[in-house]
Every structure is written in structure tokens, then in C-alpha cells.
A and B are shown apart, each in its own frame.
Chain A
């Protein structure tokens, strides 16, 4: 187990390093320059751009820039943002907690709702309610995330005024509230973006869960459980669901990267200042240090979450023995 963990961590470091290298090269080779205004209605003279290139060392050969960057990263320095005029670490420190909060909330909705729906459908397989829920989950699975976000925003924000239309807190009152009020305010702002991401994810999870449950409930041990006289509820929840949830844990490992890095559109629609939006803005602004640092961080998070998903699978399923193949 320890050897397995060390191997996986070493592989993770290699992956992060590869992502760093690829991102660094690609963003530097992309057309455009970092110091051109993002809108084309303001002008910066070529002399100014040349001077800024000198200041930030962008006039040096790419290999020299790369080696210098590697050295800086090894010392924990990610440089300064070209567009925000502040350390990249500060920009990431502002964005990461928002992304984690959104990702965790969306994951909770995705899996709680997805597993419950899938299990419910499997228990009522091939009935009318199953067919209706299948159509519903297919709809949410197919709908573009940004469209769903805009629709929820219009309905619950603009028309019903039930929920705020954007941000991570009400800028007017948030800081005036006691801690419990601030928590509640953040949760109110979290409902729509997390709900959007969670609903789309839950639709996919529900379909996986339904299939897994259907496979399990035809197994002999389920028949045995029923023959022992257990209630249907107990059979489904205690015996079937526990085994059918194993593939979903693998799905969790696959969902994490998407939630951490793929929420750009949702973050834009709901003005949610997370990592996705930070990285997207940085790409448009050719803010090389931010783009590269965001890629490093995202790769690290994905690698860690992948290891965590494998560990979870081993905990949930005693048949899985990490590193067993190597031991053999």
C-alpha cells in the first residue's frame, strides 16, 4: 500500500511536470502578446510592448525563459501576473477557495441526487416513472451547462427574485453580517451555480447508477436476501446500493477534474470568481504566469483526486487490493 502510494505520487509529480512544460510552451507559442489590451479600442505602442517584454524577460529565448521558470517554481515562486499587477500566488489564493467551494457543493448535489435517482429508477425499472425520469435525466445530460445556468438565473433570479443572480456574496451586506449570516449569504449565492453544475452531473450519474443497480439486483445474493424475508427497502439500500455504488466512486475521480477546471462557463454566467474564470481571462490576456500556474495547480488537484478516488474504492470494496498486481 505504501509503495503503491509512493509510486502514484511520483507519477503525479511527473504528470504535473509534463503539464507545466506543455502549457508553458503552448501559451508562449500562441499568437498575440501579453501586453496588448484585451479590447482593441485602446492602443499600446510597440515601444512600450518591447520595453515590457524586456522587463519580464520575454525577449529571451524560450528555453532560457523555461529554465528560469522551472527554477522559480521549484522555489515556490509563480511570478507576477501581467494583467493584475500582483503575485500569481495571490491571484490563485483568491480563486481557489471559491472553486473548491463550488466544486464540492456541485459534487455533493451531483452524487446525492444522481445516486438517489438512479437507485429509485432501478427499483422501478421499466415502469412509467422510470421512463419519465430517464427522459428527464437525458434532457439535463444533453443541455449545455451555460444554457441551463442562464435559464435558472432568469427564472429564480430575475423573475421570481428568490435567489441572487451572481457573485459569492452580497457585496452590500455580506461584510456587515455575523458569521452565520455570512454563511447563509454564501449558501444563497451558491445555490444556482452549484445547482447548475450539480444537475447536469447528476443526470449522468443517475444513468450510471441505474445501470449498476440493475446489474446488482439480479445477483444471487440479492435473491438470497429477499428469500431471507428482508424488506425490499432494506434489500435495496443495504445490499444492492452498497455494491452498485462502487463504479460511481470511479466516476467521482473522473468528475473532479471537470468540476475544478471545467466550470468556466458557469463561473462566467454567475460571476463566480473561481479558477476557471481566472484561467480563461488569463488565456485571453496572454497572462503567461497565471495560465501556467493555474495549469500546474489544476493538474496537481486532478492527480491528487485521482489517487483519492482509488483509495476510496479500496476502502469501499475489500476485494480491491492496491498494489496487489505488483506484489504478485
Chain B
């Protein structure tokens, strides 16, 4: 009986081994397993709003041109041609793009100018509600001159008009999508089996498990070295890191701070730090809870907000939570932005000065309970933080302790992010630990979060001086002028202190040591995967597996 069992197991093992068929050799082998934290909702770019979908779309679809290594968003300097092999400025408000005649959709049809015009039309359609729509507001129309020439007409000239024309729109196949009603695009079958013109074509998507792409050996941008890309979905960052350490995945784009040492201790893994796209802050609600027509009884007072900023030892917080993996931002900005300016005038840590300001404004501990009060009102507030962010939960506790030392009571409420956003949106909160992701350019992100009427301006910050400076920055005609205007705008924000800007993360990607030529573009870590390679002498079993 025991012998029979051994034979059965041995036979099964042999069958498994037969299936591996180690076939591929040479420069164009390789399977890259990417630990994907989360799963795309759809792979149709105008309908998706998540970073997971962007990572896949970067491989399957092309743009006219894309950001270069410098990350510059002003003018067209440093941009790398993709579908457009070249371009010219007909006048300050018109750009003509000449498409690469070798570009092909994965079904074999050539990519044409009408595809570009169609893609622009879809992305600006109010029914589709693409997140690119706002950024394309100043593109008046897109016309085709011939099958390989497309012209962008802008309503006005501004420094980032080229960036807006090329960065936000991935080119879609008009011949496959034109017949789909716009209100059904989000649920179109195309979204789960897309056809693009990028260097990787879609192969399979197993819901909840994995997504596979295969290299297009005829890609007009150059044949990718790595033959297969596999996203392996996992719901938890630590599990993703475990997959890497166990050798079951090759890449993970953002290692959580608590797992950094585990990754660094593994000799098979190499870390690649890059400027992160996130910044996190403690935002004050400047309007009264439940009645946004009135100022908040505490945070409507600029002096109080400045005192709390002075009482915050941000250096100690960053060191405690992130070690060297984050920086204190000089305003609302991630490390990614060119507007990062360390010479901006920020409020230092000075708890004595904070205490003096509070006392001068009548906030004293009259009853000796350790909490300052004024006319019977305690100096205390509720701080919201999302349950899903370990670092922000940690920050909440550390901030609570720092504020306690100057006699300010903080009550922490941890909430599901959806509920937290709803409370902030309705103004039913005092303060919250918020995190924002920025595009490579600050224009849209700053408008959404810090301008009056911005959809995520939960602080309800409204200062015309800041709005003027913002308008100057977005309307500037040169990079120097724009940076100067951004500096003025951020200084106004820093002086007003509607928030305490706490940290901007230095992201760290981790990649298996056998992968060479790894280049990470901070705004899109997988954008350059097509140039990564696995040298023939470093191939392992999974690199050689042939798909049936």
C-alpha cells in the first residue's frame, strides 16, 4: 500500500516536472513576477482610477510621448517620444504630432491619427468622466491632418501644455471601441481583455489571482527583454514582502517601513529608493462642525493653528516612524515635485513659543487638569485617522503625546477610509490625518485640495492671495516664472498653517538581484519595465517556462 502511494506521488511529480519544459534561452527570456497590492478594477484607461490599473496600462498602451528621466513637466524638454516619433509647435497654442508608422495594435491593425483623436474625445466626454478630463480642459480640439499626423489646438498657451497633451491620455483602438456606447464603456468587455499598442500584450486575467502580459517581439519601441510579466495579487503589504523573500515574486514597488529591514537582510533582493508621490498632513477643519458658514471655534484662529504647528516636533516623528525613509515637506508637496523648495520659510519646532502664543490668547490650564481652557472651553479636538494606514495610526498617537505636553487634549478616532472621507466631506470633523497622491505636476492636485471649491479641500481653506499665486503659477509662460509663483503660493499656505505638513515618503522598490538595467521612474515605477532585462547567465527555472 505504502509503495503504491509512493509511486503515485512520484508519477505526479514527474508530470509536474515534464510540464516545466525549460525551453527559453538567450537575451529575450525572463519572467518577472510583480507582487501587486490590489487588483485593477478595469484595464480600460479612461474608466480606471487606480494605480494598479495604471501599472498594467503602462505596458499595454502607449502615449504620444512620456516623461523623461528628469520628470520635467514644463515645455517639451526631456520628454521621450512614444507613439509620436516627433512633434513641432505650429504656434504657441498648436502642437503637431507625427505618429510612428510602424506602430501596430496587438490585433495587427496600424495605429492611426484617428485613434489619437478618438482617445482624446473619450477622455473629455462627460459621460465617461475620465480622471484626465480636468487636465485636458484647455485643449480646445484635436484634429487629424492625415493618417499619421494629429494636431492639438489649445485655448491658451501655458508652460505645461505639452505635458497635458501627452501625459494623461493613453491611446485607444478606435476600431474596437467606437461602437461601444459611452455610458457602457466602464463595463465593456474590453476592460478585462484590452488590446493596446504597447510593448506587452494582454494574455490572461484570473480574478483575485494574477494577470499576465507577454512581450510583443515586434514592438515599434523596441523588443522588450523580459518575455512575461505576471502580477500576483495580494491583499496585504507584508504578505507581498513575504512572497519576495520566499522567492515567489521578483518586484514590489513600495516596501512598507516596517518590512524594510526584512528586505534588506535578503541577499537576493536589491532596493531602489525613489522620490515618492505621496505627502501626508494633519489638516485642520477651518469651518465649524455641521455649519460651514461659521469659523471653527478652535481652528478658525490662525494663531492657534500656528501654535500647534510650532508644538509639533516633525523631525522626531519622521525619525520614529520612517527612519531615513521620509522627509518633512516644505508645504503640501511630495518629493516627486520640482516645486520642492527647502528654502521656503517653515515654522520650526518650538514648544516654548507655542505655549507662549496659547497663553497670550487666553488658553491656560485654569483648573490644573493638564488641559488648557478658555472661558470654560477645553483646548481639545478629535483627530480622524484611517484604519488602513499603519503609519498614520502611529503618527496619531505620537501627535497626541506631543500636544498633551503643551496642554492640548487629542481624542483619536480611527475610521474606515470611506467613512472618514464622508465625515470630512460633510465638515463633521475637527482635524484629520490625510494623505494625497500627486501627479508629476502640482497643478491639478493643488487645485483639488487647497483651492476654494476643490473637491478634496476638506480643510475648507479659502485665501484669495493663495488663489492669485496659484493662477500665476499655472498661467506662467516660463519655467522660472512658474516656479517663482509656486514659491509665493506655498509660502502663503505655510504662513496660514491650515495644516501641519508631516511627511513625504521616500519610496523604496525592491527587485530580485538577477534583474539588470532596472530603472524606476518615480511617478510610474513600472513605466520602464520594457528596458529591464535578465542576463542569460542569471535565468532561473521560471524564466524559461513556456506558456502552453
Q: A166 touches which one: B186, B191, B192, B234 (CB < 8 A)?
A: B234
A 19-45 contacts with B by CB, 8 A: 31-33, 36-45
Chain B nearest CB: distance from A55 CB in Å? 7
Determine if A80 is an interface residue (Cβ-Cβ < 8 Å).
Answer: yes
Given contacts A37-B50, A278-B208, contact A185 B246 (CB under 8 A): no
A43 with B435: CB separation less than 8 A: no
**Count of residues in A whose CB is under 8 Å from the partner chain:** 63
Could you tell me the distance between the alpha carbons of A44 and B418 in the complex, rounded to whole angstroms? 12
Chain B nearest CB: distance from A234 CB in Å? 21
B246 with A165: CB separation less than 8 A: yes
A84 with B31: CB separation less than 8 A: no
A164 with B16: CB separation less than 8 A: no
B191 with A85: CB separation less than 8 A: yes
A168 with B419: CB separation less than 8 A: no
Given contacts A42-B50, A45-B455, contact A269 B232 (CB under 8 A): no
A 122-175 contacts with B by CB, 8 A: 153-154, 157-158, 161, 164-173, 175
A171 with B417: CB separation less than 8 A: no
A171 with B242: CB separation less than 8 A: no
Given contacts A171-B209, A278-B208, contact A42 B21 (CB under 8 A): no
Q: Which of B21, B191, B230, B416 has the most C-beta atoms of chain A within 10 angstroms of its own C-beta?
A: B416
- Chain A residues with CB below 8 A from B15, complex form: 177-178, 180-181, 184
- Chain A residues with CB below 8 A from B230, complex form: 171-172
A172 with B455: CB separation less than 8 A: no
Determine if A307 is an interface residue (Cβ-Cβ < 8 Å).
Answer: no
- Chain A residues with CB below 8 A from B434, complex form: 40
Determine if B346 is an interface residue (Cβ-Cβ < 8 Å).
Answer: no
Over the window 225-245 of chain B, the binary record of Cβ atoms lying under 8 Å from chain A Cβ atoms (1 yes, 0 no) is 000101011111001001101
Could you tell me the distance between the alpha carbons of A157 and B248 in the complex, rounded to whole angstroms? 10
- Chain A residues with CB below 8 A from B421, complex form: 32, 36, 40
- Chain B residues with CB below 8 A from A172, complex form: 31, 33, 228, 230, 542, 545
Q: B386 touches which one: A40, A84, A168 (CB < 8 A)?
A: A40
Chain A nearest CB: distance from B324 CB in Å? 22
B12 with A184: CB separation less than 8 A: yes
Chain B nearest CB: distance from A20 CB in Å? 23
Q: B18 touches which one: A40, A178, A269 (CB < 8 A)?
A: A178
- Chain B residues with CB below 8 A from A83, complex form: 41
Over the window 253-291 of chain A, the binary record of Cβ atoms lying under 8 Å from chain B Cβ atoms (1 yes, 0 no) is 000000000000000111101000110010011100000
Could you tell me the distance between the alpha carbons of A48 and B126 in the complex, rounded to whole angstroms? 9
Determine if A51 is an interface residue (Cβ-Cβ < 8 Å).
Answer: yes
Could you tell me the distance between the alpha carbons of A271 and B239 in the complex, rounded to whole angstroms? 8
Determine if B352 is an interface residue (Cβ-Cβ < 8 Å).
Answer: no
A 61-89 contacts with B by CB, 8 A: 80, 83-86
Determine if A176 is an interface residue (Cβ-Cβ < 8 Å).
Answer: yes
Over the window 89-129 of chain A, the binary record of Cβ atoms lying under 8 Å from chain B Cβ atoms (1 yes, 0 no) is 01100110010000000000000000000000000000000
Chain A nearest CB: distance from B328 CB in Å? 19
- Chain B residues with CB below 8 A from A181, complex form: 12, 15-16, 18-19
Determine if B436 is an interface residue (Cβ-Cβ < 8 Å).
Answer: yes
- Chain B residues with CB below 8 A from A285, complex form: 418
Determine if A46 is an interface residue (Cβ-Cβ < 8 Å).
Answer: yes
- Chain A residues with CB below 8 A from B206, complex form: 94, 171
Given contacts A48-B129, A172-B33, A176-B545, contact A154 B242 (CB under 8 A): yes
Chain A nearest CB: distance from B474 CB in Å? 18
Chain A nearest CB: distance from B317 CB in Å? 19
Q: B19 touches which one: A52, A55, A176, A269 (CB < 8 A)?
A: A176
Could you tell me the distance between the alpha carbons of A84 and B243 in the complex, rounded to whole angstroms? 25
Chain B nearest CB: distance from A99 CB in Å? 11
- Chain A residues with CB below 8 A from B13, complex form: 184
Q: A85-B42, A85-B187, A268-B239 are in contact. List 12 more A-B contacts (CB 8 A).
A: A32-B416, A41-B435, A51-B129, A85-B191, A95-B208, A164-B248, A165-B248, A171-B232, A172-B545, A176-B548, A181-B18, A273-B207
Q: In the A-B complex, list the 3 residue pairs whose CB atoms are closest, starting with the nearest.
A: A273-B208, A32-B418, A177-B19
Mind listing 25 A-B residue pairs with CB under 8 Å? A32-B421, A38-B418, A40-B421, A40-B435, A41-B435, A41-B436, A41-B437, A51-B129, A153-B239, A158-B242, A164-B248, A166-B242, A166-B243, A167-B209, A172-B33, A176-B20, A176-B546, A177-B20, A180-B15, A268-B239, A269-B239, A271-B233, A271-B234, A273-B209, A278-B208
Give the B-binding residues of A (Cβ under 8 A). 31-33, 36-46, 48, 51-52, 55, 80, 83-86, 90-91, 94-95, 98, 153-154, 157-158, 161, 164-173, 175-178, 180-181, 183-185, 268-271, 273, 277-278, 281, 284-286
Give the A-binding residues of B (Cβ under 8 A). 11-13, 15-16, 18-21, 31, 33, 41-42, 47, 49-50, 129, 183, 186-187, 191-192, 204, 206-210, 212, 228, 230, 232-236, 239, 242-243, 245-248, 278, 386, 388, 416-423, 425, 434-437, 448-449, 455-456, 542, 545-548
